[in-house]
Amino acid sequence: MKHLPNAVFFAAALALPASAMAQTAWDMPTPYAEGNFHEENIAAFVADVNEKAGDAVSITLHPNQSLIKHPDIKNSVRDGIVPIGVVLVSRLENENAIYGADSVPFLATSYEDAKRLYDAQKPMMEEALAKDGLKLLFSVPWPPQGLYTKDEVNAIADLSGKSFRAYNKSTEEIAKGAGMVPTQIEASDIPTAFSTGRVEAMMTSPSTGVDSKAWDFLSNYYVLNAWLPRNMVIVNQAAFDALPAEAQTAITEAAAAAETRGWEASEEETKNATQTLKDNGINVVEPSEELNSGFKEIGEKMTEAWKQSAGEDGEKLLKAYGQ
C-alpha cells in the first residue's frame, strides 16, 4: 500500500498531454555500487539521454539498491513505481525459463559464444517482457564466472557441506549439485556474509570479487569461465510511449551505444579485475581437471533440465544458438 500514491501519480502523469509537462523526471534504481563497470556504463547512458533528450526527460540514477532492492526492481518498473531500472536477467528465470539461458553453466563460456546466445535469446526476452508491459533497452554481460573459496579445492567433493552464495536459480542448482548449501546473498552483502560465516564459497565474476574486496575474506579464485550472466536495462512501455518522439529516439540511441560500450568494457574488465585479484594476494589458478570435469558434469545435467523447463522455446533458442 505504501507505493500506491507513487503509482497513482505515475498513472496520472501518463494521462497528461506532453505539452502539460515541462520535463518528465525518471528515477532509475540499480543493484550495484558506484565504480562498478556496469554502473559506469549505465551512468554514461543516463548522461547521454539527459543531454540528447533536451527538456523532455531527465533520469536520476540511484545505485547500490539505495532506492529499491534488487529483487523488487523488475516489478517496480512493471507497476509504474519507477519507469526504468536494471536487473540481472537470470533473476527472472522463475517467471520464464528463457530468462535463465545466459546462466546455464558451460553453455556459453566465451564472449563470442555469449553474444551468439544473446542474439538467440533476445527476441524471446523481448516477447516475455512485452507481456508485462516492459521494453528491453540493452543488456551487458558480467565477466565469466569462477569459483571463490577460503580453502583449496581440487575436486567437487571438497565443496561438500559448505555454504554457498546463491543469487539466482542456476547458482542454487550448482550448489545442490556439488553438495553445498545455497544461501541467497546480494552482491552488496557479500563481505558481511563471508565475514560472519554465512557463506564459505561463491561463484561469481572477477569484477564482483574486486568490488567486494574478496582478498579480505577469501584466498582462492578458480578460473572456470562457467557462464557470462547479463544485466538488462528495462523501461515501462507506457512511460516510454508517453515521451515525445525525439526523447524516445534519444533513449534508444543511447541504449544501443551503451550495449556496444558495455560488451567492450566487460572484456576489458575481465583482464583488469583478474589482475587486481592477483595484485591483492588472491591465488588465481586454473581448476584441476577433476574439478573442471565435476562442474561440467553438473552443467550438462543443468542444461538438460533447462531444456525441459523451457520446452519448445528452449529448443528454438538452442537451435538458433547452434547447440
Q: 127 and 212 share a domain?
A: no
What's the mean pLDDT in 306-311? 94
237 or 54, greater pLDDT: 237
Question: Of 1-15, 99-113, 132-146, 269-283, which gets the smallest average pLDDT?
Answer: 1-15
What's the mean pLDDT in 34-53? 96
Dig out the grid coordinates for 107 from the structure: 553453455
Q: 21 and 73 share a domain?
A: yes
Domain count of the fold of the chain: 2
Domain-embedded: residue 278: no
Q: Alpha carbon of 8 to those of 2, 12, 79, 153, 322: distances in Å?
A: 11, 6, 10, 53, 46
Q: Mind listing the pLDDT tens digit for each residue in 181-190?
A: 999 999 889 9
Q: 26 and 109 share a domain?
A: yes
Question: Of 8-12, 136-140, 161-165, 261-265, which gets the smallest average pLDDT?
Answer: 8-12
Give me the domain span that covers residue 53.
Answer: 4-141+229-272
Domain-embedded: residue 302: yes
Dig out the grid coordinates for 152 from the structure: 583449496
Q: What torsion, rounded to 10 degrees, do the Cα atoms 22, 26, 27, 33 define?
A: -120
What's the pLDDT at 5?
A: 44
What's the mean pLDDT in 242-258? 98
Residue 3 has pLDDT above 60, yes or no: no
β-pairing, 84-88 with 230-236?
antiparallel
What's the mean pLDDT in 50-63? 95
Residue 52 identity: K
Q: 268 and 201 share a domain?
A: no
Residue 6 has pLDDT above 80, yes or no: no
Give the whole-number percent of the chain exceeding pLDDT 90: 89
Q: 209 and 245 share a domain?
A: no
Dig out the grid coordinates for 313 from the structure: 522455446
Residue 131's CATH number: 3.40.190.170
Domain-embedded: residue 268: yes
Residue 316 has pLDDT above 70, yes or no: yes
What's the pLDDT at 249?
A: 98
Q: 132 and 59 share a domain?
A: yes
SS3 1: coil
Q: 107 and 57 share a domain?
A: yes
Residue 141 has pLDDT above 60, yes or no: yes
Q: 168 and 180 share a domain?
A: yes
What's the pLDDT at 23?
A: 82
Distance CA 255, CA 249 (A): 10
What's the mean pLDDT in 72-76? 98
What's the pLDDT at 251?
A: 98
Q: 89 and 114 share a domain?
A: yes
Give the whole-number percent of the chain exceeding pLDDT 70: 93
Kindly report the length of the chain. Answer: 323
What's the pLDDT at 145?
A: 96
What's the mean pLDDT in 122-144? 98
Q: 223 and 85 share a domain?
A: no
Distance CA 193, CA 25 (A): 36
Contact, 104 vs 318, CB < 8 A? no
* Chain centroid, CA 279 distance in Å: 26
Domain-embedded: residue 123: yes
Q: 162 and 254 share a domain?
A: no
Domain-embedded: residue 243: yes
103 or 23, greater pLDDT: 103
Residue 22 has pLDDT above 80, yes or no: no
Domain-embedded: residue 53: yes
β-pairing, 201-204 with 163-166?
parallel
What's the pLDDT at 209?
A: 96
Q: 234 and 222 share a domain?
A: no
Q: Alpha carbon of 41 to those of 232, 255, 273, 275: distances in Å?
A: 12, 10, 16, 21
**What is the average pLDDT value for the chain, to the nearest integer?**
92
What's the mean pLDDT in 277-298? 96
* Residue 248 CB neighbours (<10 A): 17
Domain-embedded: residue 277: no
* Chain centroid, CA 189 distance in Å: 16
